[in-house]
Structure 1
Amino acid sequence: MLNRMLAALFWAAGLVFFCVNVGASELPDFTGLVENNNAAVVNISTTQKLAAGNAQQQLPEGFDIPEGSPLDEFFKHYFGEGGPGGMPGGPDGEPGEAKSLGSGFIISQDGYVITNHHVVKDADEIVVKLQDRRELVAKVIGSDKRSDIALIKIDATDLPTVKMGSSENLKVGEWVLAIGSPFGFEHSVTAGIVSAKGRNLPSDNYVPFIQTDVAINPGNSGGPLFNMQGQVVGVNSQIYSRTGGFMGLSFAIPIDVAMKVADQLKSGGRVARGWLGVQIQDVTRELAESFGMKKPQGSLVSKVLPKSPAEEAGIQVGDVITEFNGQEITTSSTLPPMVGMAKIGESFKVKLIRQGHVKEVTVKVGALPDEDEPVIAGTEPGASPVNQRTGISVANLTPELRKQFDVSANGVLVQEAKPGPAYDAGIRRGDVILRVQDQLIRDTKHFEELIRSLPKGKSVAVLVQRRGGSLFLAMKLKD
């Protein structure tokens, strides 16, 4: 009995030892990758002159260190009172300087470097520090805010360069590695895996980000993301954080996108993107029900801009775009990057759902305008009685208000929004209701008649205009 117990214990110990060794042997070795690529990664420091009275201490964007905390004391010890991202300005009334740090990587032997737009934005001087300790002043060749990519140039030759990979071939769960200068600590290396691909963030409609759990902190911005073959697959851009420090969610710009932008910046100093001329939003479960769709999918068109490629192709408000150039549109965020990278002037097939029927149109992609559409404000006339079914009061639009709200011949203005079905749907005071289901709202009388005829317990699509933009909301009447 004792012999059997001892044998079992030795067997179990051997199994544990075997599993530990197998697990350890499967962990990647990054040493060769780092040795081969470290020299092509650079530290970037910028200086911005501040006007008199505006000199102030600058920290990396999105980073806030509580005063008196251990981290605050650490940075004061190593970086002085200015912190890792900068230095104090001069006394009150005197000009000063703001400094910031970032990363970049060399893509050509003659000195072209890719980094982030926000790293070099508004900089009066950009200094690139190489691994051999040389510090060279760089000039901006071009910078693109929408993709957060900048191309800069230093005067040098025979420089070490990175190898380019393809972000298209990345797989979720694959090991990746970042090299950069977090908080100014040059050539820091962190590793993790690809958490997701094609992430679209609210402030970045034209970039399908790579999400990773690689530790990225202020100062890493603009640095390269490598795959295990030592190829650059992304440009580290931003993190999701509640503290300013790393919390496990990092986002990198796909290198395929970054290189297309860099090529345009190098040849012309600016980036041209494809454009349809529509405002879009996600299709919720309630909106899908109101449109007679089996499941929420696609990009719902909430506004078609006049004289735009979409208007010329016959795309209408209320259409749900489900395919662009044969590629499926699962959510609204997947459409802008596809259109943005489409060749301007070429025609593409667009599949859409209109009033429950599948249609296909051909659209000739235009060029995205340089400036966003301005926000339109306005004032409201006197209040009208609250509609009991919706919980809102509406008023007709005067010619002056139509001009202010950029509404041509239909719509009513929401004067008051009390708790009820309309408020629950997201309708607020100051919204202009343009349409309910497929009916354009002519005036308050037409709106009241239409509301009375709507069924209860079923979602209906309400198109509203708010601050110059249009969106659909799903309203469900209870009574």
Structure 2
Amino acid sequence: MMRHTLLASTGAVLAVILSIAPVGAPLGVAAALAQTPGFQGLPYDARRGVFTFAAGLDASLPAVVQVTTLGQSRGPSSAGEPKPAQGGSGVIIDAANGIIVTNNHVVENGQKFTVDMIDGRLFDAVLIGSDKATDIAVLKIEAKGLSQVETVDSDTLRTGDLAFAVGYPLGLDQTLTMGVISGLNRSGLGDAIEDYIQTDAAVNSGNSGGPLLDSRGRLIGINTSILSSGMGGGNDGIAFAVPTRIMMFVVDQLRASGEVKRGQIGVALGSLTAERARDLGLNIVRGAVVYDAAPGSPAEQAGLRPGDVITRIQNRPVANAGSVQATVGIARPGATLPVVYLRGGREATASMTVASSDPVAVRVGVSAGMARGLT
């Protein structure tokens, strides 16, 4: 199934490229076009006479590793090595220091971690730190001759860009699948800090923690979950990745201190629904409804009050409450966040200075599932 997905996607790309050449023109015409101004960069290997993305991806594939997490055995048979608990993928982002990024859920509750390289080498890894809210974890290995990926800003992505998922799915060796960026800024799937990249590149069990790459082999996200309609949890062409914008914020803090410190603005939010929009007299269904602002909080000081609908924060559109949580969740205390909101149908602006996070999440009395904890 994964092979069919890859071939179908590649075929679509080749159809577009070949359509550049006149009907009936030999393949050599397409090759010539690839060398002309305006068509430079087409993924064509003139020596072999094939279209390929291998040149852009070759340098990155050795940086993709398999991560095995071993959990502590329990009961009478607990003596000896921990037994394998779960596995996933990871990617080296700093070869000199052996730094690997993976998912928190790949390493969660693990007692020992091993990393398999594509060249056959096996290393023990040390967990530097993990962050459940973003599902990011950082491992470190001591090794020479490592490769690393180039990381780019995920905010430069556009829907329709090509994307490649790399990992070790379903017990297979390293596997590459191709698709497109299906959507950006996806959130509202849970209570985590979510601002996902959505892609239709085939992602399955074992891909977790592996990289999502652009067509030049550069890291744009970390594959973390899929949305599946089947009972078996198989691939349905809807996968999500943590963007590098969030990943690097978390990784930098984990490497510096082993933990992530976030700010907060002291506001309880709910996603704007069609029903709530009608109650507020609005003709939009994208935004975050303010349910409460804590006394003395940045939100209250900025003038926000119950019933306001936040539509933009830090110049980013707000689709739902998760959009605000994702922005605040990677804002450092002291940072200033510009906010655009609606009150009584009229647009207003404010600025909030992010405060240090409160260790206790506070919820307000609203319908279940409607409001998140104080952000």
Sort the TM-score into its range (normalised by shorter chain): 0.7 to 0.9
Structure 1 match to 2:178: 191
Matches within 5 A, 1:442-457: none
Structure 1 match to 2:221: 234
Return the alpha-carbon distance in structure 2 between the equivalents of residues 297 and 166 of structure 1.
25
**Aligned pair partner of 1:254 in 238, 243, 268:** 243
CA 1:236–1:371: 2 relative to 1, 3 Å = farther
The residue type equivalent to 2:276 in the other structure is L
The residue type equivalent to 2:58 in the other structure is E
Return the alpha-carbon distance in structure 2 between the equivalents of residues 170 and 327 of structure 1.
14
Shift in Å, 1:469: 5.4
Instruction: Report the structure number with the largest CA radius of gyration.
Output: 1
Return the alpha-carbon distance in structure 2 between the equivalents of residues 257 and 127 of structure 1.
25
CA contact (8 A) 1:302 1:470 kept: no
Shift in Å, 1:183: 2.0
Secondary structure at the aligned position of 1:207 is classed as coil
Shift in Å, 1:19: 10
**Aligned pair partner of 2:105 in 118, 128, 132:** 118
Q: Does 1:138 align with 2:161?
A: no
Higher relative contact order (CA 8 A, sep 6+): 2
Return the alpha-carbon distance in structure 2 between the equivalents of residues 470 and 218 of structure 1.
29
Q: Does 1:268 align with 2:254?
A: no
Return the alpha-carbon distance in structure 2 between the equivalents of residues 21 and 247 of structure 1.
37
Matches within 5 A, 1:353-364: 353-364=342-353
CA contact (8 A) 1:148 1:237 kept: yes
CA contact (8 A) 1:193 1:214 kept: yes
The residue type equivalent to 2:186 in the other structure is R
The residue type equivalent to 1:333 in the other structure is G
**Aligned pair partner of 1:175 in 133, 157, 162:** 162
Return the alpha-carbon distance in structure 1 between the equivalents of residues 169 and 327 of structure 2.
32
Return the alpha-carbon distance in structure 1 between the equivalents of residues 57 and 157 of structure 2.
19
Structure 1 match to 2:93: 107
Structure 1 match to 2:18: none
More displaced 10-residue stretch of structure 1: 138-147 or 161-170: 161-170
Shift in Å, 1:123: 0.5
More displaced 10-residue stretch of structure 1: 121-130 or 22-31: 22-31
The residue type equivalent to 2:109 in the other structure is D
CA 1:361–1:168: 2 relative to 1, 3 Å = closer
Q: Does 1:47 align with 2:70?
A: yes
Secondary structure at the aligned position of 1:36 is classed as coil
Shift in Å, 1:297: 3.6
CA contact (8 A) 1:110 1:158 kept: no
Where structure 2 has 5 or more consecutive residues not aligned to the other structure, the ranges are 1-21, 35-41, 44-50
Shift in Å, 1:319: 1.4
User: CA offsets per residue over residues 208-256 of structure 1, 9 Å max, x none?
Assistant: 1111111111111111111111211111111111222211111111122
Q: Does 1:157 align with 2:144?
A: yes
Secondary structure at the aligned position of 1:287 is classed as helix
Shift in Å, 1:314: 3.2
Structure 1 match to 2:12: none
CA 1:118–1:466: 2 relative to 1, 3 Å = closer
CA 1:237–1:204: 2 relative to 1, 3 Å = farther
Secondary structure at the aligned position of 1:293 is classed as coil
Structure 2 match to 1:129: 116
Return the alpha-carbon distance in structure 1 between the equivalents of residues 84 and 354 of structure 2.
42
**Aligned pair partner of 2:210 in 215, 223, 229:** 223
Secondary structure at the aligned position of 1:142 is classed as strand
Return the alpha-carbon distance in structure 1 between the equivalents of residues 23 and 242 of structure 2.
41
Shift in Å, 1:325: 3.5
The residue type equivalent to 1:99 in the other structure is A
CA 1:259–1:183: 2 relative to 1, 3 Å = same
Matches within 5 A, 1:27-46: 29-46=52-69
Return the alpha-carbon distance in structure 2 between the equivalents of residues 246 and 342 of structure 1.
33
CA contact (8 A) 2:82 2:112 kept: no
**Aligned pair partner of 1:200 in 178, 187, 193:** 187
Secondary structure at the aligned position of 2:59 is classed as helix
User: CA offsets per residue over residues 396-439 of structure 1, 9 Å max, x none?
Assistant: xxxxxxxxxx8xxxxxxxxxxxxxxxxxxxxxxxxx7xxxxxxx
For these two proteins, the number of residue pairs brought into alignment is 332
The residue type equivalent to 2:344 in the other structure is Q
Structure 2 match to 1:318: 307
Where structure 1 has 5 or more consecutive residues not aligned to the other structure, the ranges are 1-14, 54-89, 375-405, 407-431, 433-463, 472-479
CA 1:325–1:246: 2 relative to 1, 3 Å = closer
Return the alpha-carbon distance in structure 2 between the equivalents of residues 40 and 236 of structure 1.
15
Structure 2 match to 1:351: 340
CA 1:466–1:287: 2 relative to 1, 3 Å = closer
Return the alpha-carbon distance in structure 2 between the equivalents of residues 265 and 50 of structure 1.
27
TM-score (structure 2 length as normaliser)? 0.78
TM-score (structure 1 length as normaliser)? 0.62
CA contact (8 A) 1:50 1:98 kept: no
Shift in Å, 1:128: 0.7
Matches within 5 A, 1:394-433: none
The residue type equivalent to 2:333 in the other structure is I
CA 1:341–1:151: 2 relative to 1, 3 Å = same
CA contact (8 A) 2:129 2:137 kept: yes
Instruction: Among all aligned residue pairs of Structure 1 and Structure 2, give the percentage whose two residues are the same amino acid.
Output: 33
